[in-house]
């Protein structure tokens, strides 16, 4: 479950679409997660987008940006 897009998998089960997310792999860096989640985007852009879509990790948390294994990391902006 770590490595897949949970929202996408659930969509196949006829649930309403929700905002897609991933969870970090053990010791995964932000750059590695961004490359995994947004493989078609330039890395710098992907990192910036992940930061912008996850203020609960990259703005509100202290220490700021500490990614935890249990985190929900959104890979797209809010749907509404």
In sequence order, which residues have a C-beta less than 8 Å from that of residue 55 and are 6 or more positions away?
none
First to last CA, the chain: 26
Query: Which two three-digit tokens encode residue 56?
Result: 């609960």
In the complex, the smallest distance separating the C-beta of residue 42 from another protein, rounded to whole angstroms, is 25
List for the chain the helix, strand, coil content (%; round to 5): 35, 5, 60
Q: Does 29 bind another protein (CB under 8 A)?
A: no
Q: Does 25 bind another protein (CB under 8 A)?
A: yes
Q: Does 41 bind another protein (CB under 8 A)?
A: no
Q: Does 10 bind another protein (CB under 8 A)?
A: yes
Judged by the rule CB under 8 A, the positions of this chain that interact with another protein are 1-2, 6-7, 10, 13, 15-16, 18-19, 21, 23-27, 56, 62, 66, 68-70, 72, 74, 78
């Amino acid at each position: 479950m770590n490595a897949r897009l949970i929202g996408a998998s659930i969509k196949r089960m006829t649930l309403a679409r929700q905002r897609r997310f991933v969870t970090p792999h053990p010791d995964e860096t932000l750059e590695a997660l961004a490359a995994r989640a947004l493989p078609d985007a330039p890395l710098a852009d992907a990192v910036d987008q992940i930061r912008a879509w996850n203020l609960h990790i990259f703005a509100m948390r202290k220490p700021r940006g500490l990614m935890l294994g249990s985190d929900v990391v959104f890979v797209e902006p809010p749907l509404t």
